[in-house]
Each structure stands twice: as structure tokens, then as C-alpha cells.
């Protein structure tokens, strides 16, 4: 049960990890100072949007599991699960849109670097690369 609670209620990634990722992106795309300022603004906006959706998601998950207190009355279960799916979809759209905006921030000379970077990002989600996520 504790493992299940951890999966559903885990906290967002620590700020220091966000900063490392930010620095890697700046380095890989060779962003200049002006673009870094715009990128930092994009990051703040994305983080705010995701934090808001994650709060809504936690409320829905809380409502879902609170149903176990209601003597087996699970009438709202499907609508709550649907709401969770909608919020999760919104979060993924926020993330995708963030990278679209990052691509627009690139000058023509940076597009190849952006495409290479996004290929690396995509490979993190390839089922063949799941061993990357293991705790060996």
C-alpha cells in the first residue's frame, strides 16, 4: 500500500534537478543570453501550469480513494477516473507545448541541435531503454 501511495502522491521533481536539466538544454542548444531569459520565462510558466494541474490531480485522486470510506458506494468512480485522465492529458500537453515553444526559440543554426536533443529525450521513453530507469 505504501508503494501505491508513493506512486500516486509523489512530490514534483526537486528544483535542483530542474536547474540541471535547464543547464543541459542551454548548453546543448547553445542558447545566447537573450534566449536564456526567454527560456527561463517559459520554464516558470510551464512549472506554474503543471503545478496547478498537479494540485487538481491530487484532489481528484484524494476523492477517488476517499470513496473507500463510503460503504462501497463507488458511483462517482468512473467520472473521477475520467477527470484524472483529463488532467494528466493536460499536463502532457503543457510539457509538449513547452518543447514546441523551445523549438521556436531556436535560430536556424540551432534546429539540428534541437532535433538531436529531442531524439535523446524520446529515447528515454523507448521501452527498449527501460533499464536506464532501474536502480542497479
Please, are residues 45 and 6 in contact by the beta-carbon 8 Å criterion? no
pLDDT score of 136: 43
* Residues 30-67 pLDDT 10s: 999 999 999 999 999 999 999 999 999 999 999 999 98
- The DSSP symbol for 125 reads T
pTM over 0.85: no
- The radius of gyration of the chain's CA atoms, rounded to the nearest angstrom, is 19
Task: Report which of 12, 26, 3 is spatially closest to residue 117, judged by C-alpha positions.
Answer: 26
Q: Which helix (H) or strand (E) holds 70?
A: none
Amino acid at each position: 500500500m505504501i508503494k501505491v501511495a508513493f506512486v500516486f502522491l509523489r512530490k514534483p521533481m526537486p528544483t535542483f534537478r530542474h536547474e540541471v536539466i535547464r543547464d543541459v538544454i542551454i548548453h546543448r542548444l547553445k542558447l545566447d543570453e537573450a534566449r536564456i531569459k526567454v527560456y527561463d520565462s517559459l520554464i516558470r510558466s510551464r512549472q506554474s501550469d503543471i503545478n496547478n494541474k498537479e494540485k487538481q490531480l491530487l484532489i481528484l485522486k484524494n476523492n477517488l480513494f476517499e470513496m473507500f470510506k463510503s460503504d462501497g458506494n463507488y458511483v462517482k468512480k468512473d467520472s473521477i477516473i475520467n477527470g484524472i485522465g483529463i488532467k494528466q492529458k493536460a499536463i502532457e500537453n503543457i510539457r509538449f507545448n513547452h518543447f514546441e515553444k523551445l523549438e521556436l526559440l531556436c535560430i536556424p543554426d540551432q534546429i539540428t541541435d534541437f532535433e538531436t536533443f529531442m531524439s535523446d529525450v524520446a529515447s528515454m521513453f523507448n521501452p527498449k531503454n527501460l533499464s536506464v530507469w532501474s536502480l542497479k
